Amino acid sequence: MWQEKRADLAASFALRRRGLAKGWYKFSRNPLSVVGLVVLVVIVLATGLASYITPYPAHAGPYTNFKAAGQPPSWEHLFGTDRIGRDVFTRVIFGYRFSLLLGIVVLGLGVAPGVILGLIAGYHRGTWVETTIMRVTDVFLAVPPLVLALAITAMLTPSLLNEMFAIALLWWPWYCRLVFAVSSSMRNQFFIREAEFSGASEAHILFREMLPNCLAPILTKMTLDMGIVILLGASLSFVGLGAQPPTPCLGTMVADGAKRLPGEWWSTIFPALAIVLVILAFNLVGDGLRDVFAVEEV
Amino acid sequence: MRNKKVLRVIVAAFALTVGFGCFVGVCATDNVAVINGYPVITADPATASDWYDTEAMYNLYSPMVYPTPDGSVRAHLATSWQAVGGDLTHWRFALRQGVLFHSGHELTAEDVAFSMTRFITMGRGNSGPLGKVTATVIDRYTVDFALEKPSAIFPETLALFFPVEKAVVLANVKQPGNYGDLGDYGEDWLSTHDAGTGPYVMVTHIPGQRLDATRFLGYFDGWSNEGWGPDEVPIERLIFIMETDYTSLMTLLKSGGLDLEINGGWTVPQLTQIQSDPMLDLSYVWAQNVTVWMNSKVAPTDDEHFRKAILYAFDYVGVVGPWEPFGNGETGIILPNMAGYVPIEPQPRAQNLERARQELALSKYANNLRDITLVYHYCGGLDFEEEVGLQLQADMAQLGVRVEVAGPPWPQYSAECSSAESTPNMTIFLFAPQAFPTYDYFMYSMFSPGGLGWIFEAHWYFDDPQLIQMLDSTRAEPNAFSRLLTYELLQPIIADHALALYPYQKPTLFAHQAYIAGPLEEIAFVGPSENMHNWRINLVMKEAAGR
Amino acid sequence: MAKYIGLRLVQSIFVLFGLSLLIFSIARVVPGDPARAALGFLASQDQVQQMRVEMHLDKPFPVQYYYWIRNVMHGDLGKSSYTRRPVTTDLAQYIPATLELILFATLISLVFGQIMGILAGYFRNSWFDGLSRLVSYLGIATPSFVIAILLMFLFSQVFRLAPSVGRLPIMMQPPPTVTGFMVLDSLLAGQVKTALVALNHLLLPAFSLAVIHIAQEGRITRSSIVENLNKDYITMHRVHGIRTSRLVFKYLLRPSIIPTITVMGLDFAFLMSNAFLVELVYMWPGFSRYAVTTMLNKDLNAMVAVVVVMGVTFALVNLAVDIIISFLDPTIRIQRRGG
């Protein structure tokens, strides 16, 4: 008996491994996706080890040295120093930490309700439930996210937490719409009908039958969205509505340094390029995943 | 005949070229000054409130009395004034004769009384400090004002009262409005037109964006050349623009597209650049008192020793840093350039961690410093206010106290200061001398329960009866010299409560083209220094500069 | 068709109503003191209180919303507490400037996107194709404000090729306002030089906005061309010796028009929101800069109006795109009827 089970398990592992190998093959066919993945891994590692690999970790916290302000790039300060006299390179690496955190928290908060509502709306296609959910979704999608995010954060005390909250509030509708599209198309398919007839609960149908079939597009969209969320967060920080000092925040650094262009170009150009790099990496990986899952359009 | 025709063609072509050239703005040595620093939102004297508005007021209108370099006032629209009845609630003003409005009509007591009633009824702008005032016309050139409360400084507060022309305002009232028969009291019209007596006449005004004005030849104070150089002539046209991006402003200044900048938001490298450019100049007229209030009603700043510890822990030298050559330096309860300034603790102005630790040990929070968070709020977007916060954060970290620094946008930031409970531990403000008289503004208005409240008194400390009594006595003392003595006595008493940290005074640096001359009179008050009657243009130099 | 449009309109109105309620509640529920903001510095507490009453801020939320919607029905969006003018006056002044910028950016992205797409598609897998792919990736990954700052730094500050401040030099007399479009108005007034200068001022901000759309449209055109290049009829035409240019424009470009228009329509609203930060960087006196300024100043009436205007624009553009596409592509029309 247990041998059988073990064989089963081994088989499923083999299957999974084969699936992974096949996925990796598809993913790695596009060299750009691999480059994106490598960049991403490097960034994640760098943020994780920021306290050890950056030359002046103290510069990410409460620290001032106005005498050393505005120094150009040198071996001592790779990316120069800012108007407070802090090392820009150190702050860029620490800044990634908050960008990634923002992306993860926003998607963590935003995806779950969006997916659940989308599943419910898809299951109850054609009823008032669907109408209510989807019309409310329309309201949130009626203007570009930056506009609403600005309006909401402008009303709150600016902080990283409120920024996350505001963006998350705007993010669920996208997933709701996506999941609705996928799940409503499978509403009348055989396996759902079968589950219904066999008396499965609604929760079972939603989460065990429908959800697994939506995972591929959700995962792909999440990877692509990481870039967009980081971009949006940077935009909010750019107008001063994001994380507060001395938290190193890439958008704030760009805005801050922009006041010192063209003289102290390093304090704005390097953080700007850093933002581009991380978003680019997420986009490339997202594209790769799209190939793997053969997702048409998300 | 033929020659004439040729000549005519040449003349026409020339005229066309010049006309076209001027039209598109390439006319050499235009007598015009482009000035940045006026995000003028309202040009109505009854609603004008911000310092930018005041600057516009001084150009378009004339105040009743005019601030002088020594901090008092001199005759302007009013030639003399006196208290009637002896209890300082009733004041009589004699008006200057022959003052012309921009319409060409003469200013009379009727206009002044109407303007005061309008000012008080609308109850906005700078009318707050006046309380309720009733105006009565005595004769064509005499007007009486009756006050709610006695005030020895009432005449001086009228440096922020700008009479409008009654007939013009009434002719442009919009119905319906909040004021019954008087409709909107002319508010809408006055936001894009003027009805004043000032040295310049408004031509066009796009609120918050641009204001164009031309010189008023009939200005009652005249355009005398006394005190000016031979080539320095009055500026004919003014264009006030509102830009806050100093990178772009720098580009404009360098290319000659900007003549004068009076907001002074430059960065240190930019200032150095301006200083080293022979085509540009920097002038300094008034300084702002950078003030960090400490809220005495919330923990942990409710403890006097804790507040003192902050004063000693702060690194004054460090925060001034590269700003020192530009005049940032010591300040106290009043500005150091004002007569009667008394230096306050700590002296010398330097960090003293030893002393800070002693004070901290005396405070009731000595044993649970780890649980304490000191909240410091600044107005979002202001770099140097943020820098002060970061300096404080770094300094207090050495004492083991956590400081939370945040910069909410202005409306929220200012709304927090409407009550003691919602005011953060520390709030930073720049107090430019923008209410008159300046002494009263920095003392009574900021420390008396009858003061301006809100952001002006975000320390919320009104527990010292002796202090309050002394402040009250300044408003009852008609003799300016005796008042000054009291002000001197007051400063150490206020300082002893450690209600504010004064990081430094911040001079407002006016960057301008070298061919712009001024200000002739240095008056440490917002408005008069930016009155363009006080500035001139050297067209010879401008032409030589090729601009 | 008419029924379909009618249905869409009703839907849009519902959405806009919801949007106004959403933004209105965000604006009113969170604490802050718009009355103080409207009054200014030296106002006393009494005056602030009086202002709160005047602005209906002392009333419960539904009553405030009722007042607001009643006024909107009369074409009154309230008074801006920041500019102290009617919001409608502000909008009328600022919207044309943004519209001019966006239309110019759309034009740029259309022209450059098509050129890039055609070349990349026709010479696919060449170095140019690789380059265009790289540019597209970068274009999509770069926030508009970063592009704006980079372009300003490079082309205005390092190489002084184009100005980076406003719509016209300060000293230049703007032409009389007819359309609100600086270039058009200058031409109408016969001032060719002003028009050229205005065009020059448009260059950098418009390009900053266009980059991302050049990237997207370029990719769409490319893939459409690649797809059709393999079709038999193209090979046929080639065999018959039709000129390449004719081939490209007549047979290859046409299929890419529909996705291009769809994307352009969707992009229009995003252009407006991207303009939020680009206008800040270039001090462009437009709607978007007004929007950010009023939001940061907690100017309730202006803020609600700004969001609703964005919503209306978005809805209208989407509707227009739907209509245009259904005319261009009969299959969609039939599908819609069926569904």
The DSSP line for B267-290 is -HHHHHHHHH-TTEEEEEEEEEEE
In order of their start, the domains of chain C are 87-286 (1.10.3720.10)
Inform me whether the pLDDT recorded for C71 exceeds 70.
yes
Sheet holding B133-139, edge to edge: B78-83, B90-95, B142-147, B133-139
Residue contact A67–B322, C-beta within 8 A: yes
A240 contact residues in C (CB cutoff 8 A): 296
Q: Show residues of chain B in contact with A155, CB under 8 Å.
A: 412
Residue B236 pLDDT exceeds 90:
yes
Residues B247, B316 within the same domain: no
Task: Tell which of B128, B152, B182 closes a domain.
Answer: B182
Subunit contact A246:B412, Cβ cutoff 8 A = no
Chain B residue numbers with beta carbons less than 8 Å from the beta carbon of C45 are: 418, 453-454
Q: Which of B246, B390, B409 sits opposite A245 (nearest CB)?
A: B390
* Window B:19-78, CB contacts with C under 8 Å: 20, 23-25, 30, 32, 34, 41-42, 47-51, 53
Cα(C218)–Cα(C120) distance, rounded to whole angstroms? 8
Q: The domain that contains B120 carries what CATH number?
A: 3.90.76.10
| Residue of chain A whose Cα is closest to the Cα of C26 | A152
Confidence of residue B197 (pLDDT cuts 50, 70, 90): very high
State whether the Cα torsion B263-B268-B271-B273 is positive or negative: negative
Query: How many residue contacts between A and C have a Cβ separation below 8 Å?
Result: 125
Residue of B nearest to A70 (CA): B269
- In this predicted structure, what is the pLDDT of residue B64? 96
> What pLDDT, on a 0 to 100 scale, did the predictor assign at position C1?
66
Chain C neighbors of B191, CB-CB under 8 A: 84-85
Our measurement of the distance from residue A172's CA atom to the centroid of its chain's CA atoms, rounded to an integer in Å, reads 13
C334 pLDDT band, cuts 50/70/90, is very low
C-alpha A249/C-alpha A91 separation (Å) is: 8
CA distance C312 to chain A (A): 8
Q: For residue C143, give the chain A residue with the closest CA.
A: A231
* Per-residue model confidence (pLDDT) at position C335: 46
Q: Are residues B272 and B293 in the same domain?
A: no
> β-strands B373-377, B402-406: how paired?
parallel
Answer whether residue A12 shows pLDDT above 70. Answer: no
Contact B322, B268 (CB under 8 A): yes
Beta strands in B96-182 (DSSP E): 133-139, 142-147
* B68 plus B205 within the same structural domain: no
With a cut of 80, say whether residue B343 has pLDDT above it: yes
Average pLDDT over residues B271-291: 91
The residue-averaged pLDDT of B303-328 equals 91
Cα angle, residue B179 at apex, residues B177 and B182 outer, rounded to 5°: 85
Question: And the tokens for B55?
Answer: 């600057």
Query: Across residues A174-190, what is the average pLDDT?
Result: 84
Quick check: C332 pLDDT over 60? no
Among C106, C98, C12, residue whose Cα is nearest residue C315: C12
Is pLDDT at B32 greater than 90 in this prediction? no
Rg (CA), chain B: 26
Cα nearest neighbour of A138 on chain C: C15
Under DSSP, is residue B46 helix (H, G, I), strand (E, B) or coil? coil
Name every chain B residue with its beta carbon within 8 A of the beta carbon of A154: 409
What is the residue range of B460's domain? 287-506
Lowest mean pLDDT among A98-102, A204-208, B69-73, C248-252: C248-252
Task: Yes or no: say if C93 and C197 are a contact pair by the CB < 8 Å rule.
Answer: no
Using CB atoms, which chains have 3+ pairs under 8 A with B? A, C
Q: Report CB contact under 8 Å: A235, C145.
A: yes
In DSSP terms, which residues pair with B205 in a beta bridge? B211
Note whether B453 contacts C: Cβ–Cβ < 8 A: yes
Question: Are the beta carbons of B311 and B346 closer than 8 angstroms?
Answer: yes
Can you point out the beta strands (E) in B341-438?
Answer: 373-377, 402-406, 426-431
Q: Please tell me which of the candidates B178, B191, B418 has its beta carbon nearest to residue C36.
A: B418
Determine, for residues C32 and B453 on separate chains, whether the beta-carbon distance falls below 8 Å.
no
Contact B453 C45 (CB under 8 A): yes
Q: Is residue B428 located within the same domain as residue B457?
A: yes
Name subunits touching A (3+ CB pairs < 8 A): B, C
- Per residue in C192-239, pLDDT (tens digit) is 888 888 888 888 999 999 888 888 888 888 887 777 777 776 677 767
What is the mean pLDDT of the segment spanning B260-285?
A: 89
Strand pairing report for B237-241 and B373-377: unpaired
Instruction: Using a pLDDT cut of 90, give the percent of chain A over it.
Output: 15
pLDDT level of residue C338 (50, 70, 90 thresholds): very low
DSSP codes, B288-305:
EEEEEEE-TTSTTTTSHH
Contact A261 C153 (CB under 8 A): yes
Query: Which two tokens mark C171?
Result: 């000293």
Nearest CB partner across the interface for C85, out of B47, B123, B191: B191
- What b/e string do you get for B271-284 counting C-beta neighbours within 10 Å, with b at 16 or more? bebbeeeeebbbbe
Set of chain A residues whose Cβ sits within 8 Å of the Cβ of B272:
none
B215 CB within 8 Å of a chain C CB: no
Decide: B274 and B266 in contact? Cβ < 8 Å: yes
pTM as predicted? 0.81
What is the reported pLDDT for C29? Answer: 65
Tens digit of each residue's pLDDT (9 = 90 or more) over A23-67: 788 788 878 888 899 999 999 999 989 889 888 888 888 888 888
Length of chain B: 547
To probe the interface with B, which of A81, A150, A259, A265 has the most B CB atoms within 10 Å? A259
Does C15 sit within 8 Å of A262, measured CB to CB?
no
> B39 lies in a domain?
no
Asked if B434 is an interface residue toward chain C (Cβ–Cβ < 8 A), one would say: yes
Question: Which residues lie below 8 Å from residue C64, measured CB to CB, with a gap of 6+?
Answer: C24, C28, C56, C57
Query: How many angstroms away from the CA of A111 is the closest CA of chain B?
Result: 29
Interface test with C, best of A143, A150, A256, A261 (most C CBs within 10 A): A143
Inter-chain contact A157–B247, Cβ cutoff 8 Å?
no
Same-domain pairing of B335 and B464: yes
Reported as type and span, the H/E element at residue B75 is: strand B73-75
Whether the predicted pLDDT of B380 surpasses 50: yes
B443 and B488 Cβ atoms separated by less than 8 Å? no
Q: Verify whether the Cβ–Cβ distance C292 to A150 is below 8 Å.
A: yes
Q: What is the pLDDT of residue A182?
A: 85
**Whether residue B312 sits in one domain with residue B424:** yes
DSSP 8-class letter at B100: B
Specify whether B238 is located in the same domain as B342. no
pLDDT score of A296: 52
Mean pLDDT (whole number) for B471-488: 91
Confidence of residue C40 (pLDDT cuts 50, 70, 90): low
Residue type at A228 in one-letter notation: I
The arithmetic mean of pLDDT across residues C58-72, rounded, is 85
Q: Is residue B12 part of a domain?
A: no
Residues B414 and B456 in one domain: yes
pLDDT at residue A223 tops 80: yes
Cα-trace Rg, chain A: 23
Nearest to A64 among B267, B322, B394 (CB): B394
Any A CB within 8 A of B156 CB: no
- Which stretch of DSSP H or E encloses residue B506? strand B505-513
CB under 8 Å, gap of 24 or more: what pairs does A21-24 form? A23/A292
B98/B177 same-domain check: yes
Assess if residue B78 is contained within a domain.
yes
Domain count, chain B: 3
> What is the mean pLDDT of the segment spanning B261-265?
87
Question: Would you say residue B238 has pLDDT above 90?
Answer: yes
Say which CATH number the domain at B361 has: 3.10.105.10
pLDDT score of A76 more than 70:
yes
Give the whole-angstrom CA distance, residue B215 versus residue B221: 13
* Residue B14 maps to a domain: no
- CB spacing of C165 vs B243 below 8 angstroms: yes
Cα maximum dimension of chain B:
105
Euclidean distance between CA atoms B285 and B269, whole angstroms: 21
The Cα B63–Cα B77 span in angstroms is 7
> Residue A22: exposed, middle, or buried by beta-carbon count in 10 A (0-12, 13-18, 19+)?
exposed
| Distance to chain C for A281, nearest Cα, Å | 9
Q: Is B521 in the same domain as B445?
A: no
DSSP states of chain A: -HHHHHHHHHHHHHHHHHHHHHHHHHHHHSHHHHHHHHHHHHHHHHHHTHHHHSS-GGGGSS---GGGTTPPP-SSSTT-B-TTS-BHHHHHHHHHHHHHHHHHHHHHHHHHHHHHHHHHHHHTTTSHHHHHHHHHHHHHHSS-HHHHHHHHHHHSPP-HHHHHHHHHHHHHHHHHHHHHHHHHHHTTSHHHHHHHHTT--HHHIIIIIIHHHHHHHHHHHHHHHHHHHHHHHHHHHHTT-SSPTTS--HHHHHHHHHTTTTTTTHHHHHHHHHHHHHHHHHHHHHHHHHHHHT----
Measured CA distances, B128 to B54, B77, B79, B123, C43 (Å): 15, 22, 25, 7, 5
What is the mean pLDDT of the segment spanning B128-152? 92
Where does the pLDDT of residue A183 fall: very low under 50, low under 70, confident under 90, or very high at 90 and above?
Answer: confident
Does some domain include residue B46? no
Pairing of strands B260-261, B32-36: parallel
State the number of CA atoms in the 13 A half-sphere of B421 facing the CB. Answer: 0
If asked whether residues B93 and B160 sit together in one domain, one would say yes
Using CB atoms within 10 A of its CB, is residue B353 exposed (0-12), middle (13-18) or buried (19+)? middle
Q: In order of start, what are the domains of chain A with their CATH numbers?
A: 43-55+76-297 (1.10.3720.10)
Q: Residue B178 is nearest to which of C54, C173, C298, comparing CB atoms?
A: C54
> Using one digit for the tens of pLDDT, what is the confidence trace for B444-459?
999 999 888 888 999 9
Q: Is the pLDDT of residue A295 over 90?
A: no
Looking at the complex, does the CB of residue B82 fall below 8 Å from at least one CB of chain A? no
User: Do residues B402 and B425 share a domain?
Assistant: yes
